[in-house]
Amino acid sequence: MLPEDFKNKYNRLLGDEYEDFLLSFDAPAQKAYRVNPLKPHPVVNDTEDHGNLPYGKWGHFGAVNGHSVDHVTGVVYSQEPSAQFVGEVVRPNPGERVLDLAAAPGGKSTHLAAFMGQEGLLWSNEIFLNRAKILSENIERMGIKNAIVSSHTPAELSSRLPLFFDKILLDAPCSGEGMFRKDPSATDYWHEHYPAENATRQREILGEAVKMLRPGGQIVYSTCTFAPEEDEQIINWLMAEYPEFSLVSIEKPNSANISDARPEWIDELFVNGTNEHSATTTKDEMKKAARLWPHKLEGEGHFVAKLVKANDDYDDVSVVKPLKNKPLDKQQRELLFSFFEETLVTFDQKANEYVLFGDHLYMAPFGTPDISSMKILRLGLELGLFKKKRFEPAHALALALNPDEVNQSYEMNHEEWAQFVHGDVIQTRQDLDKGWVLMTANGNGAGWGRYVNGQIKNFFPKGLRFVVKK
């Protein structure tokens, strides 16, 4: 049940469009997913496909089974259609430093990673630790090697990373009006002053994001709300508060039915229902931003704006300190390189650095800054764990490897897949040498096994195990 104040507000703002807008809430929410190009075989085998999204090359309409081979091996990510447009607007380049400031559960971060092709530095942050853990798990599942996952407030990050990033995405915490159809319970939190309350927080977060963007860099601001207070008015505030920012025109494919933002909604008096205008200009520049409406396209409500920071000379450019790293000791080096020699054919390190967290070894992205005293959940790719007189490879490494990169891989059939994800020992159908085996499904890494005496000991993580339904 939509709140009456909500209906009255958008009846006034949308005019002739209102009836179609209102009817859209009775239509079913459209499901969609993205295919992950970072996988060696990003072919969808057991996920339904109801056609391509009208933007981007990886999006498809259809539902994802969370226990399917495609999902477990990170070939697909379930993501609502309109949300996928945000990543297409950011579209980072390989080698850039990119921040996803409010990243959980990871849909947009994993989309950005697809564009980056494992090159550069993707920093994915989530203030709430429990949600940051889910974010980190999704980064791992998609086989992403160059992502740092942290759990910090925007102010904490900006104090450590001034003028550091080439591109910043802020998918801002908002009133969630655009998700009312998908999640009707979200209406329980809504009241007529809720958008304004969220706008206060959005301005605070954007103020910190600005500090982290280098001159000439870009910020993409997005919400899943219709509220002008959180959309056009926020962008208008940002450009007034920080004159070095200007809007970049967002490409809106005709086939996608994506709309321009509403310049007239910059006016607070008009939006608040007085029918008066305080603005002296229509500010048509705002049309460069985008709105996605559920009565015009197959997806939920979204707002997206892209801004560029002037590339002026700054006298107060801060230098972010480089990563401090303790080198591996002799025994650790011997164990690691022995594992590499016995298990891997080739492994592209791309000049990245080995970093120890306790006994866990990570390969940090090139250009990683000093992270001392920071709450870091993932520092690039986890390689494995040093145990007494041996090195045990991490599940994340298996998900990031191509079968061509290992000496031994084992392609599982359906029955063996069910055994593997349940944690069972697998009786092998082929001759293998004693040692680590990359277990694969549909040609993609799914986890590790260790071959001994005609069988493969299972190293699929206990916390991820499940029963495959027949």
Would you say 216 is a known binding-site residue?
A: no
Strands (E), 59-198: 59-61, 76-78, 97-100, 121-125, 147-150, 165-171
Token pair in block for residue 445: 């890494």
Distance, CA of 233 to CA of 18 (rounded, Å): 21
Distances (CA, A) of 362 to 116, 347, 352, 372: 20, 14, 10, 15
Distances (CA, A) of 265 to 10, 13, 249: 12, 9, 18
Q: Quick check: bond before 105 cis, omega within 30? A: yes
Would you say 103 is a known binding-site residue?
A: yes
Count CB atoms within 10 A of the CB of residue 291.
22
Smallest Cα–Cα separation from 129: which of 149, 111, 114, 110?
A: 149
Residue found by looking up tokens 């921040």 in the block: 99
Q: What angle do CA 204, 210, 214 make, to 5 degrees?
A: 165
Radius of gyration (C-alpha) of the chain in whole angstroms: 24
For residue 377, the one-letter residue type is L
Cβ atoms of 129 and 150 within 8 Å: the answer is no
Across the strands, what pairs with 338? none
Cβ atoms of 286 and 266 within 8 Å: the answer is yes
Would you say 207 is a known binding-site residue?
A: no
Smallest Cα–Cα separation from 412: which of 391, 394, 398?
A: 398
Would you say 285 is a known binding-site residue?
A: no
Would you say 107 is a known binding-site residue?
A: yes
Q: Active-site positions?
A: 224
Quickly list H helices, 216-256. 232-241
Residue 347 CB contacts under 8 Å (≥ 6 apart), including other chains: 340, 405
Residue 333 CB contacts under 8 Å (≥ 6 apart), including other chains: none
What distance, in Å, lies between the first and last C-alpha atoms of the chain? 39
Residue 33 CB contacts under 8 Å (≥ 6 apart), including other chains: 47, 59, 60, 62, 63, 64, 76, 77, 78, 79
Would you say 126 is a known binding-site residue?
A: yes
Would you say 305 is a known binding-site residue?
A: no
Q: What angle do CA 238, 244, 246 make, to 5 degrees?
A: 65
Would you say 171 is a known binding-site residue?
A: yes
Would you say 394 is a known binding-site residue?
A: no
Annotated binding-site ranges for S-adenosyl-L-methionine: 102-108, 126, 171
Annotated binding-site ranges: 102-108, 126, 171
